[in-house]
Structure 1
Amino acid sequence: MTAADWAERLSTARPLLDRASTAELVADVLRENVIDGSLPPGTRLSEETIGNLLGVSRNTLREAFRLLSYENLLVHELHRGVFVRKLAAADVADIYAMRRILETASVRAAGAATSPTWKTTPRRLRAGRDETARVLRNGGGATAGRLRRPFALAPHRSEEAHPRRLT
């Protein structure tokens, strides 16, 4: 094999380097389940069970756990296992402070948009927020997590007193 053949062979393998590792794909699956509430905070994640369900080795699963631990979605407790992280009150306060900043800016931008669809945005957002609150009152926590996504821009009640913020 010549150097040119070898170089050509390596260059054809380059697209393979762009694909995600199995551990990253497993982490994506677990991440989605944590985010949508299917794996609630405090849930112990069994290597054996998850490995069998996904058809991956324990080493691959441990790598996925490590990736999600770096993202603070999972917590490894020595001699106990891996658990879905429980949020502290300070974590929730930080999340909502950031959401308020981002969502207020988004609603202002939506109000400035000229598309007729955006004119109904504040009403649709309030309806979505109210539906999420109804589901939460009726005990549908996991469902509410999925409902919140499209209506994450819903303004807080205090903002309803100031309609100018929505236009």
Structure 2
Amino acid sequence: MSNGTHASELERLVGQYQTAVLRTCYLYLCDRSQAEDAVQETFLRVYKGLDTFRGESSEKTWIMKIAINTCYKMNHSGWSRFINRRVTPEMLPEASVPFEEKDDELTRAVIRLPIRLREVILLYYYQGLNVNEIAEALDISQPSVSGRLKRGRERLKDMLEGRENDA
């Protein structure tokens, strides 16, 4: 692929996936500035990897895997301990569809989930990935994804019904 082809392909991918990647990174990192940095780093890695993408997964799965790995690395850097982790739905990047009040309550509950449960809920419900794609994106087994989805749903139900204050 030539540099011109790479650039136009990257432009298409950014246009198609930037908002989804930003929302996911923000919910992972709980900081707008870090999420924006993660998006830039994600698409830089996408650009560098265009020649090696073999199409064994969907573009979305591939890009989300890169974004998740980027967030993991940023979360484990020394700077992450200085970040304000109190995220509210108002702070999230603009959604393509306006939130309703019940969505706001659900988003607050999702944010409070432990990261291992939050990530599968985000990828399944917010990004529309299936269990196989999530397993591939997170490098875990399909039964692990199914188990985490089940536990995540149970925790969310408990939180929303008021049986659990904070995760």
Normalising by structure 2, we get a TM-score of 0.26
Choose between structure 1 and 2: higher helix proportion: 2
TM-score, length-normalised on structure 1? 0.26
Structure with greater strand percent: 1
Structure with bigger gyration radius = 1
